[in-house]
Structure 1
Amino acid sequence: MNRTANERPLLEIEGFSARFGDRLAVRDLSLSIARGERVALVGESGSGKSVTALSILRLVDHAELGGRILLDGDDLLRKTEQEMRGVRGADVAMVFQEPMTALNPLFTIGKQIAESVRLHEGGRPNAARARGIELLRRTGIPEPERRIDSFPHQLSGGQRQRAMIAMALACRPRLLLADEPTTALDVTVRQQIVDLLIELQEQEAAERGMAVLLITHDLNLVRRFAQRVAVMEKGVLVETNTTEALFGDPQHPYTRRLLDSEPRRSIAPLAKGARRLLEVQGLCVDYSTPAKGWRSLVRRSTFRAVHDVDLSLRRGETLGIAGESGSGKSTLAATVLGLQRAAAGHVHIDGMPLSTLSSASSRRALYSRMQVVFQDPFGSLSPRMTVEQIVGEGLAVHRPEIDAKARRARVASLLDEVGLPADAMPRYPHEFSGGQRQRIAIARALAVEPELLVLDEPTSALDVSIQQQVLALLVHLQNTRKLSYLLITHDLAVMRAVAHRVIVMKSGRVVESGDTLDVLRAPSHPYTRSLLASSLLSPLPEPTPNLRSLND
């Protein structure tokens, strides 16, 4: 029996497979999306979810695609490339994960929106510009008449993502694909983008039945956004259900494992009498910036990134620094590491003032006691160096008395400590997964026996289950080595899991501080409350008797 156009799903994926040479990335996947429906496709990196989404638009190179992908009964896999150009943007549009790389840096936002409108709908340039201004206003960008002439680098991360959404909606598509649209955003901006997508989808659904397929590994985002969830593992669709049913009673072991991957608090209480390792008093950091207009020729203005910050960190303690982008938390960490010199105030490491270290040898000796683990393990590891060279580099600089044989043995021991085999040494970073690369970065930081590690968003680029493993490793290393951590993050679930104390920064100022569980249970500042409301944390555990407050 043939179904009418209104009875059949908008999108039907039937027996779909994607093969790259000998590797089968997606196997026999079947999934449908109804008109006006919001569906989330979730799974870890390598599960095949992004390959599936890109295949709908036929944007996957060097892949052999099988099965059927039907849009309103029309098989997209059977269309010519010329026909697909008419589908992309007009019938199916996509919002990518990183708008800075998806947007053309050489053209204004307005020109990029107008290009899509004129390509699919024609019309006069003035009409396309007016359409662009309307879309920017609809997506919540302030002053759209001015912002339409901005280049991508002149917009904030949230504004760039809004501009991407405006471009995607320019031709009023029937299906919107959103591939990790909030991963690179702060929690409050993430909430705004999710709310915006829901609002726009509901408006378009009422008029045209627009559906959304969300690709993500962020389960909090799925719970807020999706009406139905499909779970993929290693290229196979393992479970599909309504959002409420799937979160309430997951059936597949992999789904249960994903839902159980939220970071758990497992840190040990701070040792009684632990000495202070780091002390910061009255820290202020200024940046010199050109004045606006013709005044830039004769004078410069000053921007204060950090305002009069005080903090302390004890041996074996984790101090979390929370806040959105631009709050000053990374500038604060760079100053502690000695990477930011234009600062007023005092930074003491184990009682030694950082400002008094003038000789290169004295600075090098102190810096060996402090190391950093960066957010992006792929970007922070040299692609031209082997793992042995990467991990052993610090030893060569700070421990030149160690010979090559002893250094190699030390590298092997460090890799074993972070859970990597010794045969990883001759390999290169691109041969490892994201979680493995972060373990390499941790091993590199540990090579010179530091006392303080600055962790700059160490898990934000990782899947939830890998994130849990890396956090467990960091806690284990802290317990065995008595390390102190300065943790920078906007992920309050990570903060809750591993931080003894927390400070919350906004516009360069500390607006709240205290024991982590105390602050998260009963935040006193409106900004902290807004961060908590945006993060969708699961309920906090009851107070643990043996977790001593550090304010005692």
Structure 2
Amino acid sequence: MTKPLLDIQNFSVAFGDKVCVRELNLSIARGERVALVGESGSGKSVTALSILRLVEHATLSGRMLLDGEDLLRKTEQQMRGIRGADVAMVFQEPMTALNPLYTVGKQIAESLRLHEGLRPNAARERGIELLRRTGIPEPERRIDSFPHQLSGGQRQRAMIAMALACRPRLLLADEPTTALDVTVRQQIVDLLIGLQEQEAADRGMAVLLITHDLNLVKRFAQRVAVMEKGVLVETNTTDELFSNPQHPYTKRLLDSEPRRCVDAVPSDSANVLDIKGLAVDYRTRAKGLKSLVGSAKFRALQDVDLTLRRGETLGIVGESGSGKSTLASTVLGLQRAAQGEIAIDGKPLSSLRTASARRDLCAQMQVVFQDPFGSLSPRMTVEQIVCEGMRVHRADIDPKARRDRAAALLDEVGLPADALARYPHEFSGGQRQRIAIARALAVEPELLVLDEPTSALDVSVQQQVLNLLTRLQKKYGLSYLFITHDLAVMRAMAHRVIVMKSGRIVEAGDTLDVLRAPAHPYTQALLAASMQAPAPDAREEFA
């Protein structure tokens, strides 16, 4: 039998007395694509980082054989020669993984100079070729761009170019598509498959994919390994694992896909939100000779009309730059230059002239942001976070009553009352998102703007948060403006959906109707890129 490229034997990782990975045995053959899946805290990322010996303050035991050589026995100097050259990594968030002070070209050239000794001109030419190979347009110009000057998909392509610069034998991809739109996600997946197959034919390059995206696993991996609480519980070919899972945890993980459970909105339900002829322009720096006479105008929204009824969820889908977030910020009153009419409970926003009137409106609308790690102040306790809105909008409530309501809200979202005295860093991602929901509910709003509230969460935690949002909507009659690029989540939550492209609504209708028979070519492209099965015709999905 051919010796595996990577052979992990009885591998364990411990931080003090806490064992995070226990007796792991996993091998990867040359030219193979393997996915390592599991929830947050299962040990996936720790395992990947341990291959590169990037885990600090941990005790590593067992064997980690790369082509028969034990990486755990290598010195730090030897590992520096292996990182990037023999084993490379594509990280989850390219904006934080890339150095904002250096151009993309300099960051690619650094690896080429260190490992292959290329001179600056030769490294630049190789960098241009790598960017071209990963599909970045105008690579001769983009190589001099800083990370912030690239889109999310282009940054991820640049990260892949850096990882492949020295043609490694093993590529580690840690959640490489989490923050990307469905079409960009498909492009990155296709790119990784194509590049891996090219390198596998030449050098036998293998890929270890770390992810919780099961649709990505189905499309990308040839074999799947499942981890639970640091223990490898099941390994099988992709087709066999999805069709016939053996371990209860694997079955539960596969069963965590979002399920639709929404009540039909009463026909006499009043409108909470009315928008007519909405348009928003941004001023941008003009190019060429026009820059001498002023700025240019970019139209982010054009002719947007929509309504949202009490107790209804309206899904808003589209790629980055389609106008989803601009629409949300405009509804929240954060875009003062907007044209058109926006009315909340029949009251036009344009009629609110005083600060107190605008403050009262803010109490009717609240927002839950995408990133539960960045949307909560790390310097405030949970009690201060949840009570902040009440101090502003419910000044008549005394401190004890505010604390009691905060405790009741935590119980409502499934957190213990003793969480009030703790700080956000003491909670998991799903728990932080529950805190954000409790904060939004504190002032008893009618409308919640949900901006990708589950995109950063594991599938099982995602389902828990969606169930919570559904239950709260039924109990309080809340209306949701639900922004997402995940069509499975949209299908599970939304009564109706609008599809946006280039600032315009290109399709709108009942969610199941749009998913079953999309009329616009752009909607059809989104559905094809999402890698989701078509929505079933059965209407019994309404609870």
TM-score normalised by the chain length of structure 2:
0.99
For 1:469, the equivalent position in structure 2 comes to 464
Q: 2:90 aligns with which of 91, 95, 109?
A: 95
For 1:312, the equivalent position in structure 2 comes to 307
* Percent of paired sites with the same residue: 79
Alpha-carbon separation, structure 2, partners of 1:406 and 1:547: 38
1:341 equivalenced with 2:342 (yes/no):
no
1:136 equivalenced with 2:136 (yes/no):
no
1:326 equivalenced with 2:321 (yes/no):
yes
> Residues 516 and 536 of structure 2 are in contact (CA less than 8 Å); yes or no, is this contact kept in structure 1?
no
> Residues 439 and 470 of structure 1 are in contact (CA less than 8 Å); yes or no, is this contact kept in structure 2?
yes
Q: 1:162 aligns with which of 157, 162, 172?
A: 157
Alpha-carbon separation, structure 1, partners of 2:542 and 2:42: 38
For 1:403, the equivalent position in structure 2 comes to 398
When structure 1 is superposed on structure 2, of 224-233 and 20-29 the one drifting more is 20-29
Cα offset, 1:293, TM superposition: 4.1
For 2:282, the equivalent position in structure 1 comes to 287
> Residues 494 and 511 of structure 2 are in contact (CA less than 8 Å); yes or no, is this contact kept in structure 1?
yes
For 2:455, the equivalent position in structure 1 comes to 460
Q: 2:30 aligns with which of 16, 28, 35?
A: 35
**CA deviation map 1:426-451 (0-9, x unaligned):** 11111111111111110110011100
Q: 2:258 aligns with which of 258, 263, 286?
A: 263
Gaps of 5+ in 1: none
**CA deviation map 1:489-527 (0-9, x unaligned):** 000001000100000001101000000000000001111
Cα offset, 1:294, TM superposition: 5.6
Cα offset, 1:327, TM superposition: 0.5
For 2:525, the equivalent position in structure 1 comes to 530
> Residues 512 and 525 of structure 1 are in contact (CA less than 8 Å); yes or no, is this contact kept in structure 2?
yes
**CA deviation map 1:238-297 (0-9, x unaligned):** 000000000000000110011001100000111121011100000000011121246434
Alpha-carbon separation, structure 2, partners of 1:244 and 1:146: 42
Cα offset, 1:124, TM superposition: 2.4
For 1:379, the equivalent position in structure 2 comes to 374
Query: Could you tell me which amino acid in structure 2 is paired with residue 108 of structure 1?
Result: T
Alpha-carbon separation, structure 2, partners of 1:144 and 1:364: 48
**CA deviation map 1:169-200 (0-9, x unaligned):** 11111000000000111110000000000000
Cα offset, 1:326, TM superposition: 0.6
Q: 2:80 aligns with which of 80, 85, 92?
A: 85
Cα offset, 1:543, TM superposition: 2.7
Distance 1:291 1:267, change over 3 A: same
1:57 equivalenced with 2:88 (yes/no):
no
For 1:197, the equivalent position in structure 2 comes to 192
**CA deviation map 1:76-103 (0-9, x unaligned):** 0000000001101110011111111111
Cα offset, 1:482, TM superposition: 0.4
1:502 equivalenced with 2:497 (yes/no):
yes
Alpha-carbon separation, structure 2, partners of 1:11 and 1:240: 15
1:483 equivalenced with 2:470 (yes/no):
no
Q: 1:18 aligns with which of 1, 10, 13?
A: 13
What aligned pairs does 1:201-280 form with structure 2 within 5 A after superposition?
201-280=196-275
> Residues 14 and 29 of structure 1 are in contact (CA less than 8 Å); yes or no, is this contact kept in structure 2?
yes
**CA deviation map 1:467-488 (0-9, x unaligned):** 0000000000000100000000
Distance 1:47 1:527, change over 3 A: same
1:426 equivalenced with 2:405 (yes/no):
no
**CA deviation map 1:312-339 (0-9, x unaligned):** 0000000000001111011001111101
Q: 2:109 aligns with which of 111, 114, 127?
A: 114
Cα offset, 1:539, TM superposition: 4.1
When structure 1 is superposed on structure 2, of 292-301 and 386-395 the one drifting more is 292-301
What RMSD over aligned residues (CA atoms) do the two structures have, in Å? 1.2
Query: Could you tell me which amino acid in structure 2 is paired with residue 171 of structure 1?
Result: C
Q: 1:300 aligns with which of 273, 290, 295?
A: 295
Query: Could you tell me which amino acid in structure 1 is paired with residue 261 of structure 2?
Result: S
SS of corresponding position for 1:542: coil
**Aligned pairs, how many?**
543
1:437 equivalenced with 2:414 (yes/no):
no
Alpha-carbon separation, structure 2, partners of 1:173 and 1:546: 48
Query: Could you tell me which amino acid in structure 2 is paired with residue 301 of structure 1?
Result: A
> Residues 261 and 542 of structure 2 are in contact (CA less than 8 Å); yes or no, is this contact kept in structure 1?
no
For 1:354, the equivalent position in structure 2 comes to 349
Alpha-carbon separation, structure 2, partners of 1:365 and 1:143: 50
Q: 2:176 aligns with which of 164, 177, 181?
A: 181
For 1:46, the equivalent position in structure 2 comes to 41
**CA deviation map 1:57-112 (0-9, x unaligned):** 00111111000000000000000000001101110011111111111111111111
Alpha-carbon separation, structure 1, partners of 2:541 and 2:523: 26
1:71 equivalenced with 2:86 (yes/no):
no
Alpha-carbon separation, structure 2, partners of 1:426 and 1:135: 51
Cα offset, 1:409, TM superposition: 1.0
SS of corresponding position for 2:131: helix
For 1:152, the equivalent position in structure 2 comes to 147
**CA deviation map 1:401-427 (0-9, x unaligned):** 111111111111111111111111111
Query: Could you tell me which amino acid in structure 1 is paired with residue 403 of structure 2?
Result: R
Query: Could you tell me which amino acid in structure 1 is paired with residue 264 of structure 2?
Result: P
> Residues 516 and 537 of structure 2 are in contact (CA less than 8 Å); yes or no, is this contact kept in structure 1?
no
For 2:443, the equivalent position in structure 1 comes to 448
Query: Could you tell me which amino acid in structure 2 is paired with residue 365 of structure 1?
Result: D
Cα offset, 1:538, TM superposition: 3.2
Distance 1:547 1:87, change over 3 A: closer
TM-score normalised by the chain length of structure 1:
0.97
Cα offset, 1:133, TM superposition: 1.1
When structure 1 is superposed on structure 2, of 276-285 and 120-129 the one drifting more is 120-129
SS of corresponding position for 1:377: coil
> Residues 188 and 535 of structure 1 are in contact (CA less than 8 Å); yes or no, is this contact kept in structure 2?
yes
> Residues 269 and 546 of structure 1 are in contact (CA less than 8 Å); yes or no, is this contact kept in structure 2?
no
